[in-house]
Amino acid sequence: MCWCGARAAHNARTLGGEMVVEGEQVVVGDVNRPAAEVGYEVLCRRHHRRRMTSASVSIAGQLP
């Protein structure tokens, strides 16, 4: 299940909670940050397309 409750359709690779796309040139400014851990997260089709991981949503939700 995706974090939104929809059926998960994709398995996304994450780096520090942010989705990373295989084969895509990714610029990571905090490569030396110890908290930038590699992980996996399942996402529905829509949120995979928008690269919205549960971590990115929770971070956005903390904005004023």
Instruction: Report the distance separating Cα 45 and Cα 32, nearest Å.
Output: 31
Q: Is 44 in the site for Zn ion (CB under 5 A)?
A: yes
Pattern 2-41, Zn ion, x by CB under 5 A: x-x-x-----------------------------------
Q: Is 48 in the site for Zn ion (CB under 5 A)?
A: no
Q: Is 1 in the site for Zn ion (CB under 5 A)?
A: no
Q: Which is nearer to Zn ion, 2 or 19 (CB)?
A: 2
- The strand order across the sheet containing 18-20 reads 18-20, 10-15, 38-43
Instruction: Report the distance separating Cα 14 and Cα 53, nearest Å.
Output: 8
